[in-house]
Amino acid sequence: MKSEAESARPAVILFSGGIDSATVACVAQKQGFALHGLTFRYGQRHEREVEAARSLARAMGFSSHQVLEIDLGAFGGSALTDRALAVPKGRDEARIACGPIPETYVPARNTIFLAFALGFAEVLGAEDAFIGVNALDYSGYPDCRPEYLRAFEAMAKLATRAGVEGRRPLRVHAPLIDKTKAQIIRWGIDLGVDHSSTWSCYDPTPGGRPCGACDSCILRKKGFREAGAADPTPYAT
């Protein structure tokens, strides 16, 4: 089993430990890639997300998994990294999905994540990276749109040895890009994703439970409901 994974083509997986990146990792694995996970600790309000990523990566048999500390919190400007801003709670589902760019948008986050993926891919000799952006995100986050990902690939082609030496430049796979949360959850069930081990909440309780009221929890609940699947998450509310 191990030797098969070792001989497989390597791919970098941007891996938060949430439903989306767990599904993407499963998709990459089914396509025959050996998984090399990158998880970022970036001034989030909690460590639960990073713990979930570590234990999922282990359970899924990743070939390697790196947790990188980056200092997005130093910039401020997002409710996810700036303690002076409140994580919005109890918002209407429709407003979350269709509103303006949300407070939880982290400036240039996907560009920073993909830049690290590009560097890691070059060191590994990987020609592929996977990211779990999806339709639900890209209504609000500019760096979740297909045209953004294509522009990143075009830049990546010029940024690295691969481009200069005529090898295939990095391909950024976003297999969830046109999927709703409910479709992702259903796909994940088909693929065997262990949803009970994934983490979504932006703002867990002091006891470590998902709050149930932040945008991410609300969209997770809605996703399971619309997928017609039991939600294994122990929300606080």
DSSP structural state of residue 160 = S
Give dist(CA 180, CA 209) in Å, integer. 25
For residue 195, give Cα distances in angstroms to 18, 58, 105.
Answer: 9, 15, 24
Give dist(CA 223, CA 97) in Å, integer. 12
Give dist(CA 170, CA 168) in Å, integer. 7
> Using an 8 Å Cβ cutoff, are 196 and 185 in contact?
no
Contact characters 187-226, a second copy, x per CB under 8 A = ----------------------------------------
Site for a second copy in 154-183 (CB under 8 A): 154-161, 163-164
Return the structure tokens found at 232.
């294994």
Choose the binding region for a second copy from 73-81, 176-184, 190-198, 205-213 (rule: CB under 8 A). 73-81
Choose the binding region for a second copy from 25-33, 47-55, 103-111, 215-223 (rule: CB under 8 A). 103-111
Bridge partner residues of 66 (DSSP): 38
Applying CB under 8 A, does 85 fall inside the site for a second copy?
no
Instruction: Pick from 69, 166, 207, 228 the residue near a second copy by CB under 8 A.
Output: 69
Applying CB under 8 A, does 76 fall inside the site for a second copy?
yes
- Alpha helices (H) along the chain: 2-7, 19-30, 48-59, 93-98, 109-124, 135-138, 146-159, 161-165, 181-191, 215-227
Return the structure tokens found at 86.
């409140």
Applying CB under 8 A, does 122 fall inside the site for a second copy?
yes
- Alpha helices (H) along 42-92: 48-59
Applying CB under 8 A, does 98 fall inside the site for a second copy?
no
Choose the binding region for a second copy from 2-10, 69-77, 172-180, 201-209 (rule: CB under 8 A). 69-77
Applying CB under 8 A, does 99 fall inside the site for a second copy?
no
**Nearest distance from residue 37's CB to a second copy, in Å?**
12
Applying CB under 8 A, does 4 fall inside the site for a second copy?
no
Applying CB under 8 A, does 186 fall inside the site for a second copy?
no
Angle at 211 between CA 86 and CA 179, to 5 degrees: 90
- What is the contact surface with a second copy in residues (CB under 8 A)? 66, 68-72, 74-77, 101, 105-112, 114-116, 118-120, 122-123, 142-143, 145, 147-148, 151-152, 154-161, 163-164
